[in-house]
């Protein structure tokens, strides 16, 4: 795992299939489990609703992801106008690192989702090293599965919307990740329609841009209004215009300009050199204010001392016989 995993959306998913499951998703086959875990026997935990498999030595991580995934299902299902049983069952594989997971997922990803199978594959090493927040990560993956179910077999949405909604429902709110260097990087929604960048820095910017776009959409209309149209088979562009009153292309340009302007200023303020400069400036100002204050006090003290020195002299003269 790269340092990107420790900094930003370490639970970011690679969505293999955006379509909904057909009926109840069957449990993963032995061949599929072997693909990620190697030869068995494997450790199993959970129940028929949420179950995880792991290679020996990864039992604790498997138990953690089952609890986190089960806990996020009711909230995410309700947000998408689904029943929890629509999202269930969930099948989770805790990969021991390397192998097929490393081939399928980019270096910055700690998990991947296959919504049509209701399957989530999680990196055990990322969990073990505490490089990811397990609640956020599993909520992110559950959101992908729920969105696949919500769209049905014929509904379609661009990748940026899938990821932006998954970030939103994961409750990921780390402000520092909005400070992407001196801007938010060379990224635009039109470049994120079908895939995300392989470069970690650009991938981080892509997630942030996608989340910003979703937040803007939610301010205008509930996402379920759009999802209803997409599930019914309406083309994405037409459905988007009907709900938000703007074409996806124009919306993408608007988000690009808004995000670039806002995050560029935030990035400047939050950058290490800027923080050091601001602290230095504050220190200089504080020292200057203290010096000015000290000078005023010294002058006041000197004036008061001068007055006190004059009083006895005046009294002596008034009492002198020569006066």
Residues 229 and 155: their CA atoms lie apart, in Å, by 8
User: Which tokens go with 21?
Assistant: 């499951």
* pLDDT over 90 (residue 115): yes
* pLDDT over 80 (residue 260): no
Domain hosting residue 158, numbered range = 3-273
**Same domain assignment for residues 46 and 91:** yes
Number of domains in the chain: 2
For all residues of the chain together, what is the average pLDDT?
80
Q: Where among 273, 289, 314 does a domain terminate?
A: 273
Of 34, 26, 166, residue with least CA distance to 109: 166
* pLDDT over 80 (residue 148): yes
Identify how many contiguous H helices and E strands the chain contains and give both numbers.
13, 5
* pLDDT over 50 (residue 256): yes
User: Which tokens go with 269?
Assistant: 């303020």
- Asked if the structure places residue 58 within a domain, the reply is yes
Q: Where among 249, 273, 297 does a domain terminate?
A: 273
**Same domain assignment for residues 171 and 232:** yes
Q: What percent of the chain is predicted at pLDDT more than 70?
A: 69
**Same domain assignment for residues 77 and 226:** yes
CATH of the domain at 119: 1.10.390
* pLDDT over 70 (residue 281): no
* pLDDT over 70 (residue 19): no
pTM of structure: 0.76
**Same domain assignment for residues 72 and 162:** yes
């Amino acid at each position: 795992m790269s340092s990107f995993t420790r900094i930003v959306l370490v639970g970011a998913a690679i969505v293999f299939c955006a379509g909904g499951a057909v009926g109840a998703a069957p449990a993963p086959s032995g061949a599929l489990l072997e693909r990620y875990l190697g030869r068995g026997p494997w450790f199993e935990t959970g129940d028929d609703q949420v179950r995880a498999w792991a290679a020996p030595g990864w039992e604790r991580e498997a138990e953690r992801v089952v609890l986190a995934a089960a806990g996020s299902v009711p909230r995410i299902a309700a947000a998408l106008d689904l029943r929890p049983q629509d999202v269930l069952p969930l099948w989770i594989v805790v990969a021991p690192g390397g192998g097929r997971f490393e081939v399928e997922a980019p270096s910055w990803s700690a998990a991947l989702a296959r919504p049509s199978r209701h399957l989530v594959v999680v990196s055990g090493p990322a969990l073990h090293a505490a490089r990811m927040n397990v609640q956020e990560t599993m909520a992110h993956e559950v959101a992908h599965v729920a969105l696949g179910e919500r769209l049905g077999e014929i509904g379609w949405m661009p990748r940026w919307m899938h990821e932006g909604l998954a970030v939103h429902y994961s409750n990921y709110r780390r402000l520092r990740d909005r400070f992407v260097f001196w801007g938010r990087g060379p990224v635009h929604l039109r470049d994120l329609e079908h895939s995300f960048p392989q470069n970690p820095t650009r991938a981080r910017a892509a997630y942030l841009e996608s989340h910003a776009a979703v937040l803007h959409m939610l301010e205008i209309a509930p996402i379920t209004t759009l999802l209803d149209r997409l599930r019914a088979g309406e083309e994405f562009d037409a459905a988007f215009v009907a709900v938000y009153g703007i074409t996806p292309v124009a919306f993408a340009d608007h988000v690009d300009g808004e995000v670039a302007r806002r995050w560029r200023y935030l990035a400047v303020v939050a950058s290490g050199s800027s923080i050091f400069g601001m602290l230095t400036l504050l220190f200089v100002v504080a020292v200057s204010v203290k010096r000015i204050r000290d000078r005023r006090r010294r002058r006041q003290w000197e004036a008061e001392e001068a007055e006190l020195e004059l009083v006895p002299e005046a009294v002596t003269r008034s009492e002198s016989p020569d006066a």
